[in-house]
A and B are shown apart, each in its own frame.
Chain A
Amino acid sequence: MRTGRIVGLWVLLGIGLAQSTTITFYYPVGVAGPLARFIEGYVQEFEAKNPDIKVNTVFGGNYEENQAKVVAAIRAGNPPDTAILLSQQLYTLLAMDAIEPFDAYIAKDPELKRAVNDFFPAFMMNSTLDGKVYSLPFQRSTPILYYNKEAFQEAGLDPERPPASWDELVEYAKRLTKRDAQGRIVRYGVAIPTENRSTWLLEALTIQAGGLLYDPAGKGCKVLVDTEPVRKGMQFKADLARRYGVSPEGLVAWGTTPGDFTAGKVAMIYHSTGSLGFVRANARFPFGTAFLPKQVRYGVPTGGANFYLFKGSDPKKREATLRFIKFMTSPELQARWALDSGYVAARRSSWSLPIMQKYLQEWPQPKTAREQLAYARAELPVYNLQQVKDIIAEAEQAVVLGRKDVRETTREAQKRVDEALKPFCR
């Protein structure tokens, strides 16, 4: 009888080991460079530790392309088991009825429960709806201020005192803007990119002006464009070039700004903390990082992408998927990923790990983003996300380019956004 049970156990073990589960995992590359290789590396590490699981990685391109691929797969009836998608995408995915909440699994799994409680609350803001958790943070960031300490000294400013308010920013920028003998500007004081299809930095300015780009009670259906804080934010950006002459004219591009900063062509920039690696590698001058200056208050939106759970998985795959997600969001991996990529380690316990401590001793700048989390808000969470972002971004462009009056622009944009949300919010 006993031998029977032992044999039975071995048979089961054999069957279990022999059958490996394959899961599909889509991921974007949001930060330049060979980051895809890191992700592939982590996956291989996971597979080595879990020989009964095989992870099919699908590189989806950048955030928009990856999103498109995931949706195409879902529509073709072939959803992935998990994917890294923008934390903002919650409502879009819910509208497609494509995702499942983590709660049922959190209740049964103490490790998962620990993880959820260990993430920085700011990073969980985009994940929760009606008390349910729909995504777990993986590659997260906030915008921060980078400033050229050498330029500060040159202009007679204290390199350890970055500007703390919008007014100070303008003041500093005026002193930092340098011209040559012919009067041409060789260095601009500040550059705040107007990214073509994103509202991230506008959101930051809006929060600093005391407002919010959306109504939290609106559950993804109410966007607040026609408000004073938004107008202040847009006007502030426009004034930098047109009124104070401290920023380049026209739209400042996102992708070229860190390079311009490291080349010394602009003394202060607003950019993602994810660019820290880039700046560190390329700047030949001492630089500092700081909170984005406040107007009424400090504030930034969070950014980046999370792990989602997709419907249409079977229990074995789901179990494998959860193991994978737990691995990727573990404190150790979050710390390593932060060091490799420049994203903010999303787990609080990551920051006390030895590798993190050692790194911070040499490079304290990552702490800025983490400390700024205290003032962070969720990133615009709405249905029909990309179209809403495009409408608002275009409005911002019109103001920055001086084409339209800011009141008229925000009023029109509000109407268009409400139109765009109508099919989703009855």
Chain B
Amino acid sequence: MTLSSERPKPLLRRIGRVSWRGARQLPALLFALPYAFIVGYSLVAAITPTADLHRGEIGRFTLENFALAWSSADFPRLYLNTLIFTLGLLLVQVFTVTMAGFALAHLKGQGKDALFYLILFQLFLPASALILPNYILVERMGLADTLTALALPYVASATGAFLLRQGFLQVPKELVEAAYVDGATPWQVLWRVLLPLVRPQLAAFALVSLVYHWNEFLWPLVIIQSPEKRVLSLGFASFARSAESGMEWGLIAAGALLVALPMVVVFLLFQRSFMEAFARSGLKG
């Protein structure tokens, strides 16, 4: 016979369990508190009427900043251009980094180290430092003011090649050999057998590439001329960087959120794969 006092009610037990789980996650939230604070300020600024912000008051809610930000720049077009640029580039990069990563993983022979260093050296040469010569180059090719030109310096990505190389090194030799035995050509082996196996690495690379190029500012500023080809970072800049007057915080915050929102989605989609890629790729000793 069990006394009812010995057995906690099922509902209480569930609540207890959930809150214990929640409480255990508390350290995470505590750590994120300063970040939450910063995000909080941006969010509050975005939904507070600008006039209030400039008087130092908060509390009123409005969507006028978003409306004003939206109408200050042709957002649909900005989103479209940025999507075309980042996704288009990513698509090309998938090809180049997969091929390069595979090649680097299977390099044999004398030129091996030299080639490796030659390609990976690019990790250490930021395109930002090469803006002027790259601009002149692109201009001479007649490709200035195109989304293509935006992408060209990034087609060869050492980061991607490195990541994919790690991925390909994971693949057991037996799998590859079995595929050859089955009569597959090297090309087929690469795209049919190996590619699915390096999905985490590709996802990781996609995250890196998308986030970087989505927010990239300096190179587009130099290359893009026509208003209809502008990308998000340029559109955002037009009301974030004023020279003569005061800063419109509400507008800037709302604009920043409009620009960043798709990347939030990307993050949520890719963060698992990203970590999987690194967990498996054996950045272990």
Is the pair A78, B244 in contact by a Cβ cutoff of 8 Å?
Answer: no
Is the pair B244, A141 in contact by a Cβ cutoff of 8 Å?
Answer: yes
Contact (A284, B251) CB under 8 Å given A31-B243, A40-B227, A69-B222: no
CA A258 to CA B54, docked complex, whole Å: 9
Is the pair A62, B54 in contact by a Cβ cutoff of 8 Å?
Answer: no
Is the pair A63, B243 in contact by a Cβ cutoff of 8 Å?
Answer: yes
Indicate if B248 sits at the interface (CB-CB under 8 A). yes
Interface extent on B, as a size class? 35 or more
Is the pair B72, A36 in contact by a Cβ cutoff of 8 Å?
Answer: yes
Q: Which of B52-110 contact A (CB under 8 A)?
A: 53-56, 68, 71-73
Please indicate the chain B residues that have their CB under 8 angstroms from the CB of A281 in the complex. Answer: 50-51
Is the pair A59, B238 in contact by a Cβ cutoff of 8 Å?
Answer: yes
For residue B256, give the distance in angstroms from its CB to the closest CB of chain A: 14
Is the pair B139, A33 in contact by a Cβ cutoff of 8 Å?
Answer: no
Please indicate the chain A residues that have their CB under 8 angstroms from the CB of B51 in the complex. Answer: 262, 281-282, 284
For residue B71, give the distance in angstroms from its CB to the closest CB of chain A: 7
- Our pick among B55, B132, B249 for the contact of A72 (Cβ within 8 Å) is B132
Is the pair B243, A62 in contact by a Cβ cutoff of 8 Å?
Answer: yes
**Which stretch (A216-224, A270-278, A404-412) binds chain B?**
A270-278
Please indicate the chain A residues that have their CB under 8 angstroms from the CB of B246 in the complex. Answer: 32, 255-259, 262, 271, 275, 278-279, 282
Indicate if A77 sits at the interface (CB-CB under 8 A). yes
Indicate if A37 sits at the interface (CB-CB under 8 A). yes
Please indicate the chain A residues that have their CB under 8 angstroms from the CB of B239 in the complex. Answer: 29, 32-34, 36
Indicate if A245 sits at the interface (CB-CB under 8 A). no
CA A259 to CA B246, docked complex, whole Å: 6
Indicate if B4 sits at the interface (CB-CB under 8 A). no
Please indicate the chain A residues that have their CB under 8 angstroms from the CB of B71 in the complex. Answer: 34, 37
CA A32 to CA B239, docked complex, whole Å: 6
Indicate if A76 sits at the interface (CB-CB under 8 A). yes
For residue B93, give the distance in angstroms from its CB to the closest CB of chain A: 26
CA A274 to CA B246, docked complex, whole Å: 9
- Our pick among A77, A274, A284 for the contact of B244 (Cβ within 8 Å) is A274
For residue B75, give the distance in angstroms from its CB to the closest CB of chain A: 12
Is the pair B245, A78 in contact by a Cβ cutoff of 8 Å?
Answer: no
Contact (A33, B245) CB under 8 Å given A56-B226, A59-B227, A59-B238: yes
- Taking CB as reference atom, which chain B residue is nearest A78? B139
- Our pick among B135, B230, B244 for the contact of A272 (Cβ within 8 Å) is B244
For residue B205, give the distance in angstroms from its CB to the closest CB of chain A: 30
Contact (A34, B72) CB under 8 Å given A259-B247, A263-B55: yes
- Our pick among A34, A62, A77 for the contact of B139 (Cβ within 8 Å) is A77
Is the pair B245, A28 in contact by a Cβ cutoff of 8 Å?
Answer: no
Indicate if B170 sits at the interface (CB-CB under 8 A). no
Report how many A-B pairs have Cβ atoms within 8 Å. 130
- Our pick among A40, A69, A274, A284 for the contact of B245 (Cβ within 8 Å) is A274
Please indicate the chain B residues that have their CB under 8 angstroms from the CB of A277 in the complex. Answer: 245
CA A286 to CA B237, docked complex, whole Å: 32
CA A282 to CA B49, docked complex, whole Å: 10
Please indicate the chain B residues that have their CB under 8 angstroms from the CB of A33 in the complex. Answer: 72, 239, 242, 245, 248, 251
Indicate if A248 sits at the interface (CB-CB under 8 A). no
Please indicate the chain A residues that have their CB under 8 angstroms from the CB of B244 in the complex. Answer: 30-31, 141, 272, 274-275, 303-304
Q: Interface digits, B22-63 against A, CB 8 Å rule (1 contact, 0 not)?
A: 000000000000000000000000000011011110000000
Indicate if A21 sits at the interface (CB-CB under 8 A). no
Please indicate the chain B residues that have their CB under 8 angstroms from the CB of A342 in the complex. Answer: 245
Is the pair B248, A69 in contact by a Cβ cutoff of 8 Å?
Answer: no
CA A160 to CA B170, docked complex, whole Å: 79
Indicate if B241 sits at the interface (CB-CB under 8 A). yes
Is the pair A61, B68 in contact by a Cβ cutoff of 8 Å?
Answer: no
CA A284 to CA B247, docked complex, whole Å: 17
CA A281 to CA B49, docked complex, whole Å: 11
Is the pair B242, A57 in contact by a Cβ cutoff of 8 Å?
Answer: no
For residue B150, give the distance in angstroms from its CB to the closest CB of chain A: 15
Indicate if A75 sits at the interface (CB-CB under 8 A). yes
Indicate if A167 sits at the interface (CB-CB under 8 A). no
Indicate if A265 sits at the interface (CB-CB under 8 A). yes
Contact (A37, B139) CB under 8 Å given A31-B244, A72-B132, A258-B245: no
Contact (A58, B225) CB under 8 Å given A36-B72, A78-B139: yes
CA A31 to CA B251, docked complex, whole Å: 13
Is the pair A284, B55 in contact by a Cβ cutoff of 8 Å?
Answer: yes
CA A256 to CA B139, docked complex, whole Å: 38
CA A328 to CA B247, docked complex, whole Å: 26
CA A62 to CA B239, docked complex, whole Å: 10
Please indicate the chain A residues that have their CB under 8 angstroms from the CB of B225 in the complex. Answer: 24, 56, 58
Indicate if A264 sits at the interface (CB-CB under 8 A). yes
Contact (A262, B242) CB under 8 Å given A34-B71, A72-B132: no
- Taking CB as reference atom, which chain B residue is nearest A198? B243
CA A257 to CA B50, docked complex, whole Å: 15
CA A259 to CA B53, docked complex, whole Å: 8
Indicate if A340 sits at the interface (CB-CB under 8 A). no
Q: Which of B204-228 contact A (CB under 8 A)?
A: 221-222, 225-227
CA A37 to CA B234, docked complex, whole Å: 14
- Taking CB as reference atom, which chain B residue is nearest A255? B247
Please indicate the chain A residues that have their CB under 8 angstroms from the CB of B68 in the complex. Answer: 34
Indicate if B156 sits at the interface (CB-CB under 8 A). no
Is the pair B227, A69 in contact by a Cβ cutoff of 8 Å?
Answer: no
Indicate if A65 sits at the interface (CB-CB under 8 A). yes
- Taking CB as reference atom, which chain B residue is nearest A31? B245
For residue A199, give the distance in angstroms from its CB to the closest CB of chain B: 14
- Taking CB as reference atom, which chain B residue is nearest A277? B245
CA A57 to CA B230, docked complex, whole Å: 12
Please indicate the chain B residues that have their CB under 8 angstroms from the CB of A62 in the complex. Answer: 241-243
Contact (A72, B222) CB under 8 Å given A141-B244, A264-B56, A342-B245: yes
**Nearest 8 CB-CB pairs, A to B?**
A258-B246, A32-B242, A34-B72, A282-B54, A263-B56, A274-B244, A76-B139, A31-B245
A-B contact pairs, 24 of them (CB 8 A): A30-B242, A33-B72, A33-B239, A33-B248, A33-B251, A34-B71, A36-B239, A37-B71, A61-B237, A63-B243, A258-B54, A259-B53, A259-B54, A262-B54, A262-B246, A264-B55, A265-B56, A271-B246, A274-B245, A275-B246, A277-B245, A282-B50, A282-B55, A282-B246
Q: A30-B245, A272-B244, A275-B244 are in contact. List 12 more A-B contacts (CB 8 A).
A: A29-B238, A29-B241, A33-B72, A33-B242, A34-B73, A69-B221, A256-B246, A257-B246, A262-B246, A271-B246, A283-B55, A304-B244
